[in-house]
Chain A
């Protein structure tokens, strides 16, 4: 699933280049320029992609690693000024 979502993100980078709409000045609903509607829908698609990424590609292992039992000892050992 992670690979599929990575592929979707890569495809979206390509779909962002909507060269076929470059000179299109038609209005949707009589007031919204087509190019603007396309990119507003793109923003909504990104939010949906984020929902899927959270559901299927969330790095639970990283969370467990960071919040593991050894946190306290590591924090005490660290050489930085503010914790």
Chain B
């Protein structure tokens, strides 16, 4: 119960901050959508980093490291640092100059102008909204999975659970609803200013709490050296064993190691003593997992296939087409405001991801291999941090990371709908400034409702895998923005061809994969084919169709 009270106090504080910043708002639509271009370098860094690091970073990275080991850091974190910086530099600054020069606020305004086509906005809008929704979903699902284990036992009569360890915990449907309502409340009143302040507060909270959580978990594991001995190990019979166990909240070395699985295939003597999660060698693991009340056989891959590692580098390209980042680029006060983000973003990623990956790896020696990946982080906190107040604060940190992503996305979708669909179609003069804000608010309510309902349906999906699908979708659109910015010959028809080809490939592979982890052949990520299809279509079709007019080009390219 104490954990729940701490979480509720944190959420109340956040709500108060969001509502207070709303009182500072000027009441104009410009202020509501882009905070009157007043966001400086620090708020920009916190906003960009906070929005990019969602449940995916904390809950997802820990869970994926629990499944595949340390390779997860290279898969997403280190390559994201490099690709994000390249995109901020190559796309962001150039877009800022067009936003400054021509007054664009949303990415659809930019594309409509660059390709001299209204229809491209109506094609892009549903695709962008459709891709943002999984991004929102992972936040809501992640919140539910985080709160359930740490509140277990609080209401045993009201919330029974098939897993006796989690009986009485706040169920995901209720925590998801609460999180959505709180974010909605401060976005509703504070607009982009409220979101920016809430983002900054939450990013600082989740980074600080991340460090505190890490130090407490390390302490409970008996220090860093003992922690590194904990991950699951292969024995002389090819079995995967846990040498340690948690007894009354204390980590103790077991007299007889606990067998939790076997390496698939014949016994390889060279594997004796190998800790698969500390490297990236690909092995198949057979184990038993609980399905309802029964134990069933399961198999999964450990390590990272080299082709998967290579082709993951396309996924961070998604940053080039995230609507909220695009909007930040177009509306920043000055290009110099990005400098701090360029330098600090890869370092912030490292500060958050290294501890999460280590916790996930250590958890393999203490938690059953069939544990849902999204529950690994909170399960480690619940088992190892005995102080209830601290557990509550740490959970608040995880929720902060999740909510700091939701607010910017909600707001951005509202801005796009209002500007790119309603005002573009019906004309700005038909509405007062207040009415414009209300249009955005109603659309945001609609999106929140859809997201919440989908989160109930997709409650058991892997947060990391869902995020990878979402990022793959945005990445397949990134060749379009590169072409639009750097290649004069990119045509309107080429742009349509690129969007259609990339989307078609994405849909086919997404349906085939059932929104789960999926690779082709030796481990090639689906994003590779999506980016390839959209790039080939963009170049091929642009070369054989009529070039843009000189008048259009003059707006975007200096001679």
Contact = CB atoms under 8 A, between A and B. Distances in A.
B306 A53 contact: no
Given A9-B82, A25-B275, A25-B278, A40 B350 contact: yes
B207 interface: no
Interface in B427-447: 428
Contacts of B93: 59, 62
A46 B79 CA distance: 9
A35 B304 CA distance: 12
B342 A53 contact: yes
Contacts of A47: 81, 343-344, 346-347
Contacts of A7: none
A31 interface: yes
Which of A47, A54, A81 has the most chain B CB atoms inside 10 A of its CB?
A81
Contacts of A19: 306
B278 A62 contact: no
A22 to B, nearest CB: 5
A50 B347 CA distance: 11
Given A42-B78, A53-B89, A82-B34, A22 B280 contact: yes
B347 A36 contact: no
B103 A27 contact: no
Contact of A54 (B34, B224, B343): B343
A82 B357 contact: no
A73 B388 CA distance: 60
A4 interface: no
Contacts of A13: 82, 313
B358 interface: yes
B78 A25 contact: no
Nearest to B336: A63
Contacts of A23: 279-281
A1 interface: no
B335 A63 contact: yes
A63 B102 contact: no
A46 B346 contact: yes
B228 A30 contact: yes
A63 B357 CA distance: 40
B70 A35 contact: yes
Given A47-B346, A66-B97, A80 B109 contact: yes
B71 A35 contact: yes
B105 A46 contact: no
B274 interface: yes
Interface residues of A, number: 47
Interface string A35-53: 1100110111011011101
A12 B281 CA distance: 23
A78 B100 CA distance: 11
A82 B30 contact: yes
Interface in B324-355: 334-335, 339, 342-344, 346-347, 349-350, 354
Contacts of B322: none
B423 A81 contact: yes
Which of A32, A71, A80 has the most chain B CB atoms inside 10 A of its CB?
A80
B344 A83 contact: no
Contacts of A27: 228, 278
Given A43-B77, A62-B97, A65-B101, A83 B30 contact: yes
Contacts of B423: 81-82
Interface of B: 29-30, 33-34, 70-71, 73-74, 77-79, 81-82, 85-86, 89, 93-94, 96-98, 100-105, 109, 113, 224-225, 227-228, 274-275, 278-281, 306, 309-310, 313, 334-335, 339, 342-344, 346-347, 349-350, 354, 357-358, 361, 419, 423-424, 428, 558
27 contacts: A16-B74, A16-B79, A18-B74, A21-B279, A22-B280, A22-B306, A23-B281, A31-B227, A32-B228, A33-B278, A33-B279, A35-B70, A35-B278, A35-B280, A36-B358, A39-B73, A40-B354, A43-B347, A46-B78, A46-B85, A46-B346, A66-B97, A67-B100, A80-B103, A81-B423, A81-B424, A83-B103
Nearest 9 CB-CB pairings of A with B: A66-B97, A31-B224, A25-B278, A43-B350, A39-B78, A66-B100, A83-B103, A46-B346, A31-B228
Interface of A: 9, 12-13, 16-19, 21-25, 27, 29-33, 35-36, 39-40, 42-44, 46-47, 49-51, 53-54, 57, 59, 62-63, 65-67, 71, 74-75, 78, 80-83
